[in-house]
Amino acid sequence: MRKTTVMLAAVALLGLPARGLASGPSTNITGDYVEARTAEVFTGGCIMGSEGEPSGREAILAWRVGHGTMNGVALDGLSIVAVVAADVNLGTQELGGIPPQTIKAALRIDGRATPAQRDALIALARSLAPSVIRDVVDVKTVPIDFTRDGSHVAVAAGEARLDVMTHVHHDPSCGALQWYQPLAKTSDPAMGITVDQSWTGSSLGTQWAQSDRRSSFFGTFAIK
């Protein structure tokens, strides 16, 4: 009788849903996102033609978690910034060209994060921007100040800084239109004005500083 009971229990366990036996770490996370590129994302055809492949090789991407977990690790209030540089315009394939063959990334991770949270933040950034966070050449933990109010999104993370104006009227005169999509998976993205952006680090082989350009996107993100 005991042997029969044990066998029945084993059969019952085998019939449980997969999550009941060996469920993986959960992911359910939301937050804010902003990016600034070195090419205008909304402009006229003449300016776009003059920028072409030489411009737009670089970008700064930043995420701030509002609430949630990534791979079972709570990340509430933490931020991560990715600074990327490619061999050609990051969006050249959207213009019918050949996509970048090399893209280097420098990551700046919230200094408040634990080792487990640092790994989870990197996994978050990779999952949301897999096309540009490829070859990570530099990772540092730094204080990150990510603020968003009614008119601006501003980020300061070590050598990376950006300030994006969010209340913008995009005038379609002179044939201006949107040429690119955001580099990361984003919910309800909108175009902004890059008031300032700069990268002064040495790990990507390039540095830049720009101001007053229609070269940014902002929005939110969610993974469930």
pLDDT range class, residue 30, cuts 50, 70, 90: very high
Token code pair at residue 203 = 């790990």
Domain membership flag for residue 203: yes
- Which residues form the domain of 95? 27-223
Higher pLDDT, 171 or 33: 33
pLDDT range class, residue 5, cuts 50, 70, 90: very low
Domain count, the chain: 1
Domain membership flag for residue 16: no
Domain membership flag for residue 120: yes
pLDDT value at 9 more than 60: no
Domain membership flag for residue 17: no
Domain membership flag for residue 14: no
pLDDT in tens, 117-129: 999 999 999 999 9
Give the number of other Cβ atoms within 10 Å of residue 156's Cβ.
18
Q: How far apart are CA 210 and CA 40, in angstroms?
A: 11
> Picking from 76-80, 96-100, 148-152, 180-184, which range would have the lowest pLDDT averaged per residue?
96-100
pLDDT in tens, 154-173: 999 999 999 999 987 666 65
Q: What mean pLDDT is predicted for residues 119-146?
A: 98
Domain membership flag for residue 2: no
pLDDT in tens, 83-116: 999 999 998 777 677 889 999 999 999 999 999 9
pLDDT range class, residue 174, cuts 50, 70, 90: low
Q: How far apart are CA 170 and CA 189, in angstroms?
A: 14
Higher pLDDT, 177 or 48: 177
Q: How far apart are CA 106 and CA 203, in angstroms?
A: 7
CA distances from 48 to 159, 176, 205, 214 (A): 28, 9, 25, 12
